[in-house]
Amino acid sequence: MKKNPFSLHVNMDDFIPATAEEKEYMVQMRPSTTFFKDGVKRLLKNKVATVSFVLIVLITLTSIFLPMLWPYGYDQQLGQVWGRPMDPSYNNLAPFEYGTTEQARIAAGESIFPHIFGTDSQGRDYFIRVVYGARISLGVGFFASIIVLIIGMTVGSIAGYIGGKVDIIIMRIVDIIYSLPDTLMVILLASVMKVSLGALIEGTVLAKLGSNMISLFVVFALLYWVSMSRLIRGQILSLREQEYVLASKAAGAKSGWVIKKHLIPNCISVVIISTALQIPNAIFTESYLSFLGLGVNAPMPSLGSLASDALNGISSYPHRLVIPAVVISLIVLSLNLFGDGLRDAFDPKLKN
């Protein structure tokens, strides 16, 4: 029968039940993905961020494990042997050179572990000092960010969730701390605290860290939490007004449930991203203070203090300046790029 295109007759062929094969074809055979998996997939597609991440992991692992294997200590003066006068031939060695006693041992057929970056003016192996410096810088960056995260999150969520007068008072304090010139305050606090803290922490576990390091953490805890708390307050304020929170409340949810099921999961990506971006900031500040002589206590090295020490011998030993400079730029750059990638992958809304 020839079909009339204008006919209103229903073509009964369209209503034949689908065969099993046809049904199979329509089913999407993809495992359901979670928000986290989806984000990781997007992150892995971003080549710059992936390379940065690999670099960070490599530097971190090196700085943690290499000192255990290395034959020289970061504060070991190689020219100094117990009961003998100081051997000055170990000071200021160029890369892959050896001190006199080492040369004698090499001549005798012994194999000596090379000083890859040479030694510094006090005869300390420079490579291990750079590795240690990277460890200190990364450690300070990581723990300072954790401190900032904890304080900022607590204050921000209290201000955002309780609201009212508490919110107004907290936000005024935040405004004032925010408008303080932070670097100047940091320098002032660090310079004074390293004097007054020294006596306070003597004999405790904290003394091992050194007064300068503690004052660094205190300064971070005092000044840098404000932007984090602002961010979290803003997040909570906007999330609180969302329809799904209203729906959940209307359905009888208690506030504990709302916080656990709606507020925290929706905040968490912002929190993680801004913490990740806080780390390079903290490293930056630490190296800056170390460069000014307010960072870690000697003989402990940090990348900033290594660069600062190298400034005196810049014409004779330029490599001592270039090496920590390159390492610190690499760390800060890769952390920044990774943080940006993390932001793009997990919270595209944040990108402006």
Partner 1 sequence: MNSKTLLYILKRIFLAALTVWIVITITFFVTRAVPGGPFLGEKALSAEAEAALNAKYGLDKPVFEQYTTYLSDILFRFDFGPSLKDRGRDVVDIITNGMKVSIKLGVCAAAIATVVGVVLGAVAALRRNKLVDKIIMVVTTAFVSMPSFIMGTLLLLLFAQVLKWVPANGATAGGLIMPVITLALYPAAYITRLTRSSMLDVLGQDYIRTARAKGVSPVKVIFGHALKNSLIPVITYLGPMLAYIVTGSLVVEQIFAVPGIGRDFVNSITNRDYPLIMGTTIVLATLIVVMNLVSDIMYKVVDPRITLE
Write the Ramachandran bin of 67: left for phi over 0, alpha for psi from -120 to 50, otherwise beta. alpha
- Token readout for 348 is 């595209």
**DSSP string of 38-89, one letter each residue:** HHHHHHHH-HHHHHHHHHHHHHHHHHHHHHHH-SS-TT--TT--TTS---GG
Pick the binder of partner 1 from 86, 166, 247, 333 (CB under 8 A). Answer: 333
Is residue 176 a contact point for partner 1 (CB under 8 A)?
A: yes
278 versus 308: smaller Cβ distance to partner 1? 308
Instruction: Enumerate the β-bridge partners of residue 125.
Output: 119
CB of 305 to partner 1, least distance (A): 11
Q: How far is the CB of 195 from partner 1 (least distance, A)?
A: 6
Give the integer Cα–Cα distance in Å for 290 and 301.
Answer: 9
Which of 55, 146, 187, 218 touches partner 1 (CB under 8 A)? 187
| Contact pick of 7, 28, 179, 204 for partner 1 (by CB under 8 A) | 179
Binding mask 278-307 for partner 1 (x = CB under 8 A): --x---x--xx--xxxx---------x--x
Structure tokens at 293: 């002589």
Return the ∠ at Cα 320 (arms to 315 and 325), rounded to 5°.
110
Burial per residue of 309-334, b for 16 or more beta-carbon CB atoms within 10 angstroms, e otherwise = bbeeeeeebeebbebbeebbeebbeb
d(C-alpha 264, C-alpha 204), whole Å: 37
Among the candidate windows 1-9, 10-18, 99-107, 176-184, which touches partner 1 by CB under 8 A? 176-184
Supply 261's token pair. 């099921």
227 binds partner 1 (CB under 8 A): no
At closest approach, how far in Å is the CB of 96 from partner 1?
Answer: 21
Name the minimum Å distance from CB 292 to partner 1. 6
Nearest distance in Å: CB 160, partner 1: 18
Please compute, for residue 41, the number of CA atoms within 13 A of its CA located in the half-sphere on the CB side.
Answer: 6
CB of residue 297 vs partner 1: minimum separation in angstroms? 15
Interface ranges with partner 1 (CB under 8 A): 175-176, 179-181, 183-185, 187-189, 191-192, 195-196, 199, 280, 284, 287-288, 291-294, 304, 307-308, 310-311, 314-315, 318, 321-322, 325, 328-329, 332-333, 336
